[in-house]
Amino acid sequence: MFKKENYGLKKFFSPMMTLGLLFLLFPTFSLYDLFPDVVGWILIYIALSEFSEFNEDIFALKKLTYYLSAISGARFILGVLMLDRINSKASSDTNLFMLLVTAFSVCEIICIVMYSKHLFDGLEYLAARNDGEASFGAITNARSITSFFLIARVVLTLIPELFPLFQLEAEINIENYDWLMSIFNLKNTTMLLCMVLSLILGIYWLSQISKTFRDIRKNSTLMTRLGERYKSEIKDNTKYYTLTRTRLACSFIGAGCVLYFNLVVDFKYYMPHFVGTLLIFLGFFLIRKLYSESLTKLLPILAAVQGVVYFYRFRFADYFSYGLSLAESYHEAPTEAKLTMAIVGVVYICASLMVVLIVYRELKHFCDVMTDKDATTLFFMPRLLSIMSVLLSGAMIIYMPIRKYIVETEAIVTVAWIVLTFVLLSKVRNEVRYKIIMQ
């Protein structure tokens, strides 16, 4: 068995990996992911991230983690929005659930197949290059059982959501209406059985995959060799420090921007923008030694201002009557409350505009310093869309009834801004990586 002091791999197949696998063990309930897969995928990637520079397959897992996290996050948000329709018998509701779950399932299966391939190809490569041929059998076994379980888990989630097909057929085939509807009414029972079967398969998978990882860790030749390489090529390598900090910073900044998307349920805004600002600040804090930042120190102050706005909007939502329209509820609110809300909206616009302007100014400064390139054109559209998103969001705070007319535009602009920002962050990260590698 390898000695602890002879290897610096603190995260590799650590309890963090086991915890990540545990999140994937539990089945999903239609659109409702009670144990968010996003947490599991992130923990698994972190547990493997120490080898991202050793192998391109493991490096590619980060992008796939983004995709799988986005699927899990979208499922969670839609699940919250559609919570009141869970027991609906209306064809429109059941068909919508069927469509959404099917779309998520197809996307998830594609990503899972790619994830499994990259993960185990990468582990086989590491074993082959580091005297770990004895672990090939364990890795092959882990590949088979992981692919089978993760795909089976998605399929078992999908099966109950296809039962509305029987309802649709019953509306067309009147002669067999009672028989077809009796099958449709078995949806909840089938869902329960599928969840139990998925849980049983998951427990077996977790036990086997944990055993496989323990066997790999017991391969002293492989782990000692990997530990030596990690220390000499990564841990004591300033290039690796720069790349790691840049990637983490881009991830935090991107996650912070995502929290600027407005999720509204019962007139209450649930996305905490101030938390997004703090994540952005943390991203810049990670790369503070790589360039001389100037304005990022203002971000915690702006986050505090946004926090006040966030909690006041929750209080203001208490004035709304759910039996009335948005405009009627707003006009029945006290005048002083509406005036205060308008002031709060202006404060939000000012604080959030400063945040997004600081983000793109400092990000461009970082890019200029690290790559010696003028990237002004790359920042134009994300900056413009971020300003538009803030102004539209602020308008809905200042005068709530306007939400009816601009909510779709605000959502489209915000999504476009977030997507272009992720593209921009990816380009910045890749440019820095290329410059560092070529030095």
pLDDT in tens, 238-293: 676 677 788 888 888 988 888 888 766 545 566 778 888 988 998 888 888 777 66
Q: Is residue 340 part of a domain?
A: yes
In angstroms and rounded to an integer, the radius of gyration of the C-alpha atoms of the chain is: 25
Q: What is the pLDDT of residue 6?
A: 40
Cα–Cα dist 138/16, whole Å: 20
Q: Are residues 291 and 430 in the same domain?
A: yes
Q: Are residues 177 and 36 in the same domain?
A: yes
Q: What is the pLDDT of residue 417?
A: 92
Q: Are residues 77 and 208 in the same domain?
A: yes
Q: What is the pLDDT of residue 437?
A: 67
Point out the domain boundary residue: 184, 201, 236. Answer: 236
Q: Is residue 23 part of a domain?
A: yes
Could you tell me if 250 and 429 are in contact, meaning their C-beta atoms sit under 8 angstroms apart?
A: yes
Point out the domain boundary residue: 217, 236, 255. Answer: 236
Question: What token pair was written down for 368?
Answer: 């200029």
The mean pLDDT values, 10 residues at a time, for the chain of 439 residues are 48 74 81 75 77 75 80 73 58 62 79 84 81 77 86 85 76 79 83 90 89 78 76 66 81 87 62 84 84 80 87 65 59 76 88 92 86 77 92 85 82 90 87 74
Q: What is the pLDDT of residue 21?
A: 85
Q: Are residues 42 and 173 in the same domain?
A: yes
Q: Is residue 18 part of a domain?
A: yes
Q: Are residues 84 and 185 in the same domain?
A: yes
Q: Are residues 171 and 109 in the same domain?
A: yes
Q: Are residues 274 and 363 in the same domain?
A: yes
Q: Are residues 401 and 273 in the same domain?
A: yes
Residue 190's closest CA among 212, 218, 161? 161
Q: Is residue 27 part of a domain?
A: yes
Q: What is the pLDDT of residue 201?
A: 92
Q: What is the pLDDT of residue 357?
A: 93
Q: What is the pLDDT of residue 97?
A: 66
Burial 206-239 (b: 16+ CB within 10 A, else e): bebbbebbebbbebeebbbbbbebbeeebeeeee
Point out the domain boundary residue: 236, 259, 275. Answer: 236
Q: What is the pLDDT of residue 120?
A: 85
Cα–Cα dist 166/187, whole Å: 10
Q: Are residues 292 and 203 in the same domain?
A: no
Q: Are residues 363 and 421 in the same domain?
A: yes
Beta bridge partners of 268: 265
Q: Is residue 3 part of a domain?
A: no
Q: What is the pLDDT of residue 327?
A: 64
Residue 50's closest CA among 235, 259, 275? 235
- State which residues form the domain around 110: 9-236
Q: Based on the structure, what is the number of domains in the chain? A: 2
Residue 334: phi and psi, rounded to 5, are -60, 145
Q: Are residues 221 and 245 in the same domain?
A: no
Q: Is residue 96 part of a domain?
A: yes
Q: Are residues 141 and 273 in the same domain?
A: no
Q: Is residue 4 part of a domain?
A: no
Could you tell me if 209 and 142 are in contact, meaning their C-beta atoms sit under 8 angstroms apart?
A: yes
Q: What is the pLDDT of residue 234?
A: 64
Cα–Cα dist 47/113, whole Å: 20
Q: Is residue 1 part of a domain?
A: no
Question: What token pair was written down for 105?
Answer: 């399932």
